[in-house]
Structure 1
Amino acid sequence: MAENLSHLRADARDNRDRIIEAAREVFAEVGLEAPMREIARRAQVGPATLYRRFPTKDALVAEAFSDQMRACGRIVDDGLADPDPWHGFCSVVERVFDLHARDWGFSAAFMKTFPRAMNFAASRDDSLAKMARLVGRAKRSGGLRRDFVMEDLMIVIMANGGIRTESTSASVAASRRFAALALQAFAADPSRVKLPPAARVPLVIR
């Protein structure tokens, strides 16, 4: 009996891992609007198994991106620990943009409110509160322009999430260029921010 129970536990863990991996892939490809049935199909589990592990999409999204959310928190903590507040601010923007550029789904998840996934929302809000502290320090140091507001940061995060290219590497290159352009706009002295090489992205006019 013990062996059977152990097998069931291992099987359940395997199902959960496949669901999480499939969710990350599907959300990265098509966004958070992806239907749960597509995630179940990609994970090779039945809908009942999916909903037994994750009763709501909010819960699945929160779990799928929990690693990235923790990484985001560490990035902000590193920025706060930097003795140069402006350098810390720039580092946070560059690293968060890079994280978002690698996963379209996470960028959308970061901007969304999840009433049924409080741990995710709490982690995000904690990161934003710490970022606000860093913003205050960067202004007082003279590096960040005085009229900068947190909404400016959210706007460029949303814009960064709209970058679409043919590959992840191209998205990351475009995102790094965009981060530098944003930091030039945010800097009290734009000449302190050096631009990386221009990213080669297709021009699409709709």
Structure 2
Amino acid sequence: MSIETSSPTATDRGYPRPQLQRDGWRLLNGSWDFAADPASICRAPSEVHWSGTIEVPFAPETVASGVHHTAYLACCWYRRVLDPWPPGDGAVILHFGAVDYRATVWIDDVLVTTHDGGYTPFHCDITGYMSADRGCTVVVRAEDDPLDLAKPRGKQDWLPEPHSIWYPRTTGIWQTVWIERLP
């Protein structure tokens, strides 16, 4: 058996949690607008200069992301326009498998949630922002100061290049993103 790990198609093959699979879900992996904010200057989506794209769920430090930003990156931004959502009962939930380290999520420029913890999943209810005739815009600010030695980092290096037993840094969305309707 061969496991494909080097291309975006390696992550887009099905429902992210097969033991809980439901009808009415949409995978959001793939191309997102992207902006590096190395000095963590921007605080709101309106301040961001969108300079390129990134392949989610690959971290901007990786080649597979299409960005391959290897310098210090204290903050980065993601944006994606979601298509209209079909009507139905239940809540429309936006899931993030993991965002390293501190995530702030806006829907149509409204702050919806924040999450600290680069290794844990989180979600938010976006039902009020979705309808059958209009989609919405999701913006994620991922803050992960590589020089902050107080936050959990696993074996991610804080030096410019990995040394000894330390791994290259991972910033931003690095696991699957999807939306689904829950009962």
TM interval, short-chain normalised:
under 0.3
TM-score (norm 1): 0.20
Identify the structure with the greater helix proportion: 1
The structure with the larger Rg is 1
Identify the structure with the greater strand proportion: 2
TM-score (norm 2): 0.22
